[in-house]
Structure 1
Amino acid sequence: MRGHTELVRGVALLPDGRRIITSSFDGSLRLWNLESGKHIGDDWRDVDGVQVFTIALSPNGKTVASGNGDGTVRLWDVETKKVISRWTGHSQSVESVCWSADGEHVVSGGQDGTVRVWDVESSKTILGPIKTGHDRVYAVIYSPDTTKIATAGYNENAIKIWDANTGKLLFTIRCEESTMRGHTDRVRGVAPLPDGRRIITCSLDGSLRLWDLESGTQIGGGWRDGDKGAVMTIALSPNGKTVASGSVTGIVTWWDVETKKVISRWTGHSESVESVCWSADGEHVVSGARDGTVRVWDVKSSKTILGPIKTGHDGVYAVIYSPDTTKIATAGYNENAIKFWDANTGKPLFTIEHEEQVWSLAWTSDDKKLISGSADGSIVIFDTATWQQTAMLEDEDVRDVFTIALSPNGKTVASGNDDGTVRLWDVETKKVISRWTGRSNSVRSVCWSADGEHVVSGGQDGTVRVWDVESSKTI
């Protein structure tokens, strides 16, 4: 049933069972015939065409309440398809509305974190604003006997129950969430330690943190360097004893895992370092930055031994060594291509064109496949003997594969996506075998545990999640 031009945010079924009403960010409500799938009449619009976030049908089926992007609640007559009342009070968009069982009141919850109860006849707020403590109220509902109101919202893992007559908080139900909290900004990198029990994460809050996977607790304090810049990326050395990180200040920092202290700082990039990768022998680190260059660092001397290589990318977002350390692959902003470079001389070897911008790269340990994740939501597999595309992995409604990681056995790809999901893909069948949801923001980093039983994801909401591959649940 097509007609809306933007996100559909609400659906209400009419009592006759044959029609529904929908609402959308395109500013309209629409009436549909369920049997034919056809749009009935013109779309319903108010004078300003403001985004419609939510709708609820009155108990008698004659009126619809809508919550809108300008903070208003509006009543619509189903028969005439016209607005019959506009209620103002919320200072931000209204995310949820619900009618009382008798149809006399409507309760609304907004992004301003408040709840209001409206009297339908007088169009007045008769209770509230109730300051819920949620950063934003995303769900509000009356109990069937209309004595209580339940709310849920952003940044608070709880359902709160309120007295519908007085607005007093009655009790709170805590909702346990299997997340590892500590970072105060987006998590940009995750690296598993060889013992299989610990991981290291990095964040835009400027810290690295060490975590116990079994308990989900942080081990010790955050690791911080003197430059206080956001940490954009990390990579663990092959021996698992040191970590290289890239900073928004353009510095590559070398850390000791045991002491959690900086061993060395390498300067050269003029803009944020977005990707780092170790050579297989642990002697070199390659870094890619928003200045469009790649540098190869000698770990022992802390010197640039190759570069800066001017890649032609506006910014380098992915850089990776081939398993035999003879080649470097890069991908970057504003250029739909993967470029390959001689790891000893820095000379360009060849370029593989891509449909859209490439965000992430992974090389199989046997050197037979290179895998890319791109802005169009696809994951592409290339045969490194011929450099021909052998497979394209696609799923519906996914954009921007920001990060990919191969399972230890090389049979499965984990991807972190802009829609907040983690997906598992079977390399052989080219199909999605699992879709895991748990965050409202994009997933920027994924990694596998050494035994292949868990996947760790980090995202823009600042949390880390550990997923059990077999059960598809967070642990």
Structure 2
Amino acid sequence: MAAEIHSRPQSSRPVLLSKVEGHQDVVSAALLIPKEDGVITASEDRTIRVWLKRDSGQYWPSIYHTMSSPCSAMTYHHDSRRIFVGQDNGAIMEFHISEDFNKMNFVKTYPAHQNRVSAITFCLASEWVISTGHDKCISWMCTRSGSMLGRHYFTSWASCLQYDHETRHAFVGDYSGQITLLKLEQNTCSVITTLKGHEGSITSLWWDPAQRLLFSGASDHSIIMWDIGGRKGRTLLLQGHHDKVQAICYIQLTRQLVSCSADGGIAVWNMDISREEAPQWLESDSCQKCEQPFFWNIKQMWDTKTLGLRQHHCRKCGQAVCGKCSSKRSSYPIMGFEFQVRVCDSCFESIKDEDRTSLATFHEGKHNISHMSMDISRGLMVTCGSDRIVKVFMYFFPALEILNRGLMFVYTFFFLTTVAT
């Protein structure tokens, strides 16, 4: 069922610990069980499985449950050991797992959507299960009564969801590329604002309540950090993936963002530096460097007896330039451009060699990733994808290692002091 690859990482790159195989179709979600050597998976093959690591180092299914419809989304609340599984038919089913993770009991079904469920979250304080679906809506239901509390509709499929449990704010990404911020009440909701910046559908969201930062990944291969708490509309663009960004996770302690793309790329972004905002693209009827007309500027073309040129934009200054004045390419990581992008000649001259030093590390997951989750306290990451394989990685974060060693020193010192007295 599973193969153990490595037992300990030897470097800062992710080290594959185990492969979990056995599903007959795409694995929609895989979640690590906190404080346990276990993984919960939900698949398009209509099964939910709980895999526990045996003494041999391999993962074997301790729970195997077949659903009536393909599983499309899942969330797990460890303290109450409750699983909520969204299905292709729009229903959400709740289960309770036994303490030894060998038995799973059905609790109830929630008629949340009329189409495929795309994301689920559970709030224990309010006893709400909140979800989004391909029926273009967000719904929130009471887990005590099983009744529908409210719905809100969008103009496009709702694709991903994040929820602030303290303020009851929901962030919903959709297929049009918009992110809607809503305030959920008991039986109603209000739209706070809409965030626009991506050129493709929103595929993943991550909300950090401590710093009040929202991260969004999209099919345009980019990530945007939205500084919600700053209230100044500050955004940071991160471009380093070659395919759509499928999953993101922000590690608040180390100020690092981990992202995964559909082609198997895994990136770790350093967010503990002062990054620059990418400029807004300026519009002009002629090149803002050489003043040659663009092809739609008929009047200037006629007056100067010249052919119109195609418009481009410098990624560093945002000016509208022609191809001749923007023939150079350069990376500029401080602005989020890890690849070489178009810059005007003057900006190219201003970029120093040290400005091109990468601010992210890139690794290969070696399978098509559709979902990722992390257990930050243990440095573990699990990925799953269309190849029906689940992979468990050990991730080494130097800052976390330093903190853990520091805490161990404090605990040891406290223990020895207590014993001595």
Instruction: Say whether the fold is shared (TM-score over 0.5).
Output: yes
Is the deviation greater in 216-225 or in 349-358?
216-225
Q: 1:54-65 to 2 correspondence within 5 Å? A: none
Q: Aligned pair in 2 of structure 1 residues 268, 447: CA closer, same or farther (>3 Å)?
A: closer
Instruction: Encode CA deviations 1:222-259: one digit per residue, 9 max, x unaligned.
Output: 2223x2x1111111126251011110010011111223
Q: Find the counterpart in structure 2 of residue 202 from structure 1.
A: 42
- Shift, 1:408, TM fit: 6.5
Q: Distance in 1 between matches of 2:196 and 2:183?
A: 18
**For residue 243 of structure 1, what is the amino acid of its counterpart?**
I
The match for 1:151 is none
Cα distance change on mapping 1:330 and 1:391 into 2, 3 Å: same
Larger RCO (CA under 8 A, 6+ residues apart)? 2
CA distance change for structure 1 residues 424 and 188 in 2, over 3 Å: closer, same or farther?
A: farther
The one of 367, 370, 390 equivalent to 2:235 is 390
Q: Which has the higher strand share?
A: 1
Shift of 1:410: 6.0
Q: Distance in 1 between matches of 2:104 and 2:121?
A: 19
1:333-379, CA deviations, whole angstroms, 9 ceiling, x for partnerless residues? 1x121001111132211101022221111111415111111111111
Match for 1:304 among 145, 148, 159? 148
Q: CA RMSD, aligned part only?
A: 2.4
Q: What residue number does 1:125 align with? A: none
2:202 corresponds, among 347, 358, 379, to 358
Structure 1 partner of 2:281: none
Aligned counterpart in structure 2 of residue 432 of structure 1, from 355, 360, 373 = 360
Q: Which residue matches 1:193?
A: 33
Counterpart AA for 2:153: K
Code of the aligned partner of 1:456: V
Q: 1:455 aligns with which of 381, 385, 393?
A: 381
Which whole-Å deviations, capped at 9, do the CAs of 1:142-162 have from their partners, x for residues lacking one? xxxxxxxxxxxxxxx9xxxxx
Q: TM-score, normalised by structure 2?
A: 0.64
Q: Is 1:233 aligned to 2:84, yes or no?
A: no
- Residues 267 and 323 (structure 1), Cα distance of their counterparts in 2 relative to 1, 3 Å cut: closer
Deviation for aligned residue 1:382: 1.0
| Structure 2 letter corresponding to 1:244 | F
Partner in structure 2 of residue 211 of structure 1:
51
Kindly provide the amino acid, as one letter, of the partner of residue 169 in structure 2: K
The residue identity in structure 2 corresponding to 1:453 is G
SS at match of 2:125: coil
Long gaps (5+) in structure 1: 1-156, 158-175
- Do structure 1's residue 245 and structure 2's residue 85 form an aligned pair? yes
TM-score normalised to structure 1 length? 0.57
Seq. identity, %:
18
Structure 2 CA distance, aligned partners of 1:294 and 1:378? Answer: 25
Question: Out of 211, 219, 223, which is 1:379 matched to?
Answer: 223
Contact 2:112–2:131 under 8 Å retained in 1: no
- Tell me whether 1:184 sits opposite 2:110 in the alignment: no
1:466 maps to what in 2?
Answer: 392
Contact 2:52/2:62 (CA < 8 Å) preserved in 1? no
- 1: CA distance, partners of 2:75 / 2:211: 19
Query: 2:164 — aligned with what?
Result: 322
Q: Secondary structure at the match of 1:451?
A: helix
Q: Which of these two proteins has the greater Rg computed from alpha carbons?
A: 1
Does residue 177 of structure 2 align to residue 336 of structure 1?
A: yes
The alpha-carbon distance between structure 1 residues 213 and 417, as it changes in their structure 2 partners (threshold 3 A), is farther
- d(CA) in 1 for partners of 2:397, 2:95: 35
C-alpha separation between the residues in 2 aligned to 1:312 and 1:195? Answer: 41
Change (3 A) 1:293 1:471: closer
Q: What residue ranges of structure 2 are gaps of 5+ in the alignment?
A: 4-15, 274-335, 337-358, 399-421
Q: Distance in 2 between matches of 1:369 and 1:238?
A: 25
